[in-house]
Structure 1
Amino acid sequence: MDSIISASPEETERFGRRLGERASPHSVLALYGELGAGKSTLVRGIAHGIGALEPVTSPTFTLVHEYRTGRLPLVHVDLYRLDSPWEAESLHLEELWAEPVLVVIEWPEKMENLLPPQTERWELLLLSEKERMIRRKLG
């Protein structure tokens, strides 16, 4: 499960569901990809995979959404609107690394130096209008 080609939002969500099903407390997933690559769709699948019941929306303006109805809490972070690493530091997200939650971060490049060693990095690449490659990001 290191990469797939997704031809639809439903396939992206299904892949996310598998990631969520295998997630454990203290997991951190970093999602890289340009606007429209499907990061929020993948998070919706991850939330379904842990059994979250709330509707999943992108926290672009609030920066952080928490979902607590699944088998483990999900903290969804979207750093798109941040302009500097200092702004990411001011959120004190590193306090989450010690919590028994699943943390999923969109636009993690805004806080790369703060990510814990156990972070799983996933990259979403636009291949065409409908197709995306989702692959484990190395390094």
Structure 2
Amino acid sequence: MLTIKVDSAEQTQAIAKKMGPLLQARDILLLDGDLGAGKTTFTKGLAEGLGIHRNIKSPTFTIIREYQQGRLPLYHMDVYRLEETGGDDLGLEEYFEGDGVSVVEWSQFVGDEIPADKLIIHLKKDDHNDDVRYLEFEPHGKRYEELVSELEKQL
């Protein structure tokens, strides 16, 4: 596990931007954190690192936003609203097995749909300083262990 302390939204985005070029089709990133922890901020940096220069918004009400303009498509999912129903009818596996990168916020609500191999990124707020976050990269599977290792070299 790799843990990085950041002091601003800009630092969060910069780290995610460095990850963008390392990503491959079918990569699955789960963003885990409280409201306001920086999940969408992280996704904005990731999109920039993939060469997507559109405004990235949280897909809270649409559930899934697709961005096709970059090196790889980005599938940004916010499944918070599926807490009661789950994601059985969404066809998430089509995204996970597709040609892009899947970023899932609040993935615990569709846990049964998520493949075993994935990268969980925990975004944790500091108890004493509201600007400070800790980004914890928890790889599951060889591909994601290599990805985290490559990211660590870039930082």
With the shorter chain as reference, the TM-score category is over 0.9
**TM-score w.r.t. length of structure 1:** 0.93
In 1, Cα distance between equivalents of 2:18 and 2:116: 22
Is the aligned partner of 1:90 residue 2:89?
yes
Can you give the 5+ residue segments of structure 1 that lack an aligned partner in the other structure? Answer: none
* Root mean square deviation of aligned Cα: 1.5
> SS state of the match for residue 124, structure 1?
strand
**TM-score w.r.t. length of structure 2:** 0.84
Give the aligned partner of residue 145 of structure 2: none
Give the aligned partner of residue 17 of structure 2: 17
Can you give the 5+ residue segments of structure 2 that lack an aligned partner in the other structure? Answer: 141-155
Q: Percent identity?
A: 33
- Count of matched residue pairs: 138
Q: How does 1:29-44 map to 2 (within 5 A)?
A: 29-44=29-44
Give the aligned partner of residue 135 of structure 2: 134
Give the aligned partner of residue 71 of structure 1: 71
Shift >4 Å, 4+ stretches = none
CA offsets 1:66-123 (integer angstroms, 9 cap, x no match): 1111000000000112222x43112110121221110000000111121112211110
Give the aligned partner of residue 119 of structure 2: 120
Letter paired with 1:93: L
> SS state of the match for residue 88, structure 1?
coil
Q: How much does 1:138 deviate?
A: 6.2
